Structures are given as structure tokens and as C-alpha cells.
Structure 1
Amino acid sequence: MILETYISVDVETAGPVPCEYALLSIGACLVNDPDVTFYRELKPDRPAARPDALDISGLSLETLAQTGCDPQCALRDFAEWLQSVTPAGHRPVFVAFNAPFDWMFVADYFHRYLGHNPFGHSALDIKAYYMGLTGVLWSETSLQHVARRLQSSTELKHNALSDAQDQARIFQQIFRRPQIAAV
């Protein structure tokens, strides 16, 4: 049996899809210890940007072109960090709040720049996990709904590291809930 190490991941991007828009920042932390972190801001590898995406993150393509890490270097650093925090005999499991969005950027960049994705071909979506555990409707799985039900004051700051840490704490609370018996 392969054991699992849950890694909370969040990204900020220049738009909705990796085929057209750049990954601008990656934040990650251990779910069991959100103070063990990884963060990189990346040089944009394509010029397209949606103003609303940049407004949300507060990141600038021009600034990142000067100060950001080369994407290949950033992904190599991320893969090395994952290896360093994942014990022997474990595999890293990508965990995110709305995992499909974050995972598609991370998977695309890992394959494009390193030729492989250390997370493999799957991700654990906190929203779907919460829905399955509690039986709520999909419309009740937004961060606001979940945080309110957990009596948490968590709000997205749209900083990849801060959001990864916040979603790790939320996942800890959900994961500790009593398990529902299978039907």
C-alpha cells in the first residue's frame, strides 16, 4: 500500500486556460503542517492576459517579466520541494479548492517544462470531497458556504501561498469530520 502526503496547492494565472494564459504564481503547503511551504512567482511565458484575472491577483505581467522565476526553474524547484516533503513510500496528492482549475495549470506546466507531473493524473478536489461527505448541493460548496458551516472566517486573498494555507486548514477540518458510512 502506498501512503499519501496531502499537498495543498493554489495558483494565480493570467486567464482561465493554460493553452492561452500564463501561470503567474504557485503556492503550496503540507495539509498537515501549513507552515511547511513553497511559493514562486513566474515570468510569464505568453503575453495574453485578462484584466479581471490580473485585478484579482494584483500581479503584473510587466513586473513578473523582470522579477519572476523562469518557469522551468520554478517547476524544477517545486518538484524538488515535493520530493523533500514527501516521505519515502508516500506519494504526493494534489489538494485544492476547485482542483480542476489549479491542477490543469500545474499539470500543463510540469509536463511542458519537466516532461512529467509528480502528482500524476489526479487531484483531490475539496469542494467535491465536502459535497460527498456532507450531502450538500454543489451550489453549497463555495468557500463562503463551507467556511460558514465550519465556523471559519477564511476568505480568499488571491495570494497563491496564503490561499493554499487557508484551504489546507479548511481541508483539515473537513477531513477530521466523522466519516459517513457507505451505502
Structure 2
Amino acid sequence: MNEIYVSIDVETDGPIPGPHSLLSLGAAAFDAGGELRATHSVNLELLDGAAGHPETMAWWAGQADAWAQARRDPQPPEPAMRAFAAWLRALPGRPVFVGYPVAFDFLFVHWYLLRFTGASPFSHSALDIKTYAMALLRKPYRESTKRNMPRRWFSAAPHTHQALDDAIEQGRLFCSMLAENLRGRG
């Protein structure tokens, strides 16, 4: 089965799931040729007993538009994550989680999928865009930031802190990197 690269971005009210909530999830599925095949987005209700982290909430105070988008029409976590898992299973390929930074986004998505559906279609693996850039650029990890990446890898899409917009933006970045890497093999 072919792989399909699912770029995921999350917006949260804190650094870890459980004490803090996943507010919004955006996912953009790309095939290996860089074609956007499907998208999924959902805003989630807060977890019972969870609270926003003071530092995260201070950051959100300066992001009024993005906050309003992340709080529009929130869904209960269990049916939202079941619908997301079903969307992943219906994709035309085996899903590969792609994120920037993957450690943060994967932590929330994996935790929510396990808690509310009992399984993750991604298993226990995810692909980090920054680490992939490190390998392509042959630079140390800490130097493999977006500001040090070639402009040719980026699309014109802005980074809005709205989960679906940002998932599409980083998915296009990953696909540019993937295409360049595959061309270099010939």
C-alpha cells in the first residue's frame, strides 16, 4: 500500500494533553507527488478537569483571530476523534504522520486517539519536518530551522495559527523537500 503523508497541526491550551486540552486539529493528506488529496479539521471541547496553562493562555491573548477560529463550533472529543480516525482509515494509502515540530503535535494526537478511540492509525511513528531538513541540508539540528531552509521549499501560504491552514502550509513544505530529495536520487 502506498504511503500518504498526513501533515497535522494542532492548537492547544497547554504543553501536554490531559491537564490541558487539544483545541483544534487540522490535517492535510498529500500523496508522494505533492498533490493535496484530502483535508480534515475539527475544533474540540475542553477536557473535563483540564485548564489552560498560564503561559500558553498569555500567548493566545495576542492571537485573537486564531483563538476565535479554534473555539468555533467545538465538538466533544470522543466523536471528533472517532471521525478523525475513520477519515484516516479512508485515505488512499497508509497514513504517515508529518509535523513541525512533530514531538508536540504527535503527543496530542496520539494521546487523544488512544484515549477516545483505543488505537492510532499512525501506530507509534511520526516524521519530523525539521529532522528531515537537517538530513537534506546537512546541518546540525538546531540550525535546521525554517529561517535557514531554502525559500524554494516554501509556498506563499501564510502561517495563521489556524490548524488546517498551518497543516496545509507545512505539508507543502514537506512535499517540496520530499520532491527535491527524490530528484536527487537520479
- Indicate the TM-score class for this superposition, using the shorter chain for normalisation: 0.7 to 0.9
Aligned counterpart for 1:117 among listed residues 113, 116, 120: 120
Aligned counterpart for 1:49 among listed residues 30, 44, 52: 52
Matches of 1:69 and 1:124, distance apart in 2: 28
1:81-128 Cα offsets, whole Å, 9 max, x none, are 11122x3xx421101111110000000000111111111001001110
Instruction: Say if 1:144 and 1:155, in contact at 8 Å, map to a contact too.
Output: no
Q: Which residue of 1 aligns with 2:139?
A: 136
Q: Does 1:79 align with 2:85?
A: yes
**TM-score between the two structures when normalised by the length of structure 1:** 0.84
**TM-score between the two structures when normalised by the length of structure 2:** 0.82
| Amino acid corresponding to residue 128 of structure 2 in structure 1 | D
Divergent runs of 4+, >6 A: none
Instruction: Say if 1:18 and 1:105, in contact at 8 Å, map to a contact too.
Output: yes
Q: Does 1:59 align with 2:67?
A: yes
| Amino acid corresponding to residue 8 of structure 2 in structure 1 | V
Matches of 1:74 and 1:163, distance apart in 2: 19
Aligned-pair distance for 1:134? 1.7
Matches of 2:11 and 2:154, distance apart in 1: 26
- Which secondary structure does the structure 1 equivalent of 2:121 belong to? coil
Gaps of 5+ in 1: none
User: Percent sequence identity over matched residues?
Assistant: 36
Aligned-pair distance for 1:4? 1.4
| Amino acid corresponding to residue 26 of structure 1 in structure 2 | L
1:60-79 Cα offsets, whole Å, 9 max, x none, are 6xx94x83101001101101
Gaps of 5+ in 2: none
Q: Which residue of 1 aligns with 2:130?
A: 127
Q: Which residue of 2 aligns with 1:11?
A: 10
Matches of 1:52 and 1:164, distance apart in 2: 23
Aligned length: 174
